Amino acid sequence: MVRALHQLEAEITRCRRCPRLVRWREEVAAQRKPAFRDQRYWGRPVPGFGDPTASLVVLGLAPAAHGANRTGRMFTGDRSGDFLYAALWRAHLANMPTSTGAHDGLRLRGVWVTAAVRCAPPANKPTSEERENCLPWTLSELALLRNARVLLCLGAFAWDAGLRLRRGVESHAQSARFSHGAISPGTDLTLVGCYHPSQQNTFTRRLTEEMIDMALATALQLAADLPSAASPPRRAPR
């Protein structure tokens, strides 16, 4: 399984299906943000990251232009990732509460982190066509994550992608609407909704630490067999 995931990762990172996304991710990587001027950006599609035996999959929207598009690892190098990985650490799914770079020593247990779209999109808004282009990569990923039972969908875009991943792109269920804490059972995958840990949501407290902890706890309970599910959450250092 691990070898197959590495092979899939290599294929994902070579993808050029979406001309608009290819132009944008490479333009951002070439120009860089002043704060990261001395760093070499990843500038390619970003593969998933985590435990290949995971029963819980965290599904985000897309890489951030100066986050995962820079570091090459999902939810790494930006404020959204800071919030997410601190929550995973409190839930005993990560060995550390921060994620700063692909070689920082972070390890996940029982969880896999990925996104509906693998390239950083302009204004953080992929098109529906770009989402559909990316779905086969995530379908292949989920097929290799044989223990995956629950998708924790971060935001409405990821929720919609999760429904399509579960039921196929031709049979999207309009009745299964996204909300924070929503649960949509399925024969292959159960979806749990959580607001996206964007700065807009966390700074305004639309999403708090307690809320994401509860969403994770719900997802872990549904996954049922995670060894860390019964452990009390830890508090991240300030």
CA 202 – CA 67 distance, rounded (Å): 17
- Is the distance from CB of 48 to CB of 141 less than 8 angstroms? yes
CATH number, domain of 171, equals: 3.40.470.10
The tally of domains found in the chain comes to 1
Cβ-contact 62, 120 below 8 angstroms: yes
> Quick one: pLDDT at residue 178?
96
* C-alpha distances in Å from residue 23, one per residue of 33, 104, 110: 17, 29, 35
Global confidence as pTM = 0.91
Whether residue 232 lies inside any domain: the answer is no
Q: Is residue 191 part of a domain?
A: yes
In-domain check, residue 233? no
Share of the chain above pLDDT 70, in %: 90
164 lies in some domain: yes
CA distance 213 to 195: 12
pLDDT tens column, 175-222: 589 999 999 998 889 999 999 999 999 999 999 999 999 999 999 999
Residues 50 and 79: their CA atoms lie apart, in Å, by 19
- pLDDT tens digit sequence for 126-170: 999 999 999 999 999 999 999 999 999 999 999 999 999 986 544
Task: Provide the angle, in degrees to the nearest 10, between the axes of the packed helices 128-144 and 2-12.
Answer: 160
Establish if 237 belongs to a structural domain: no
For residues 115-143, b (16+ Cβ closer than 10 Å) or e, as one string? bbbbbbbeebebeeebbbbbbebbebbbe
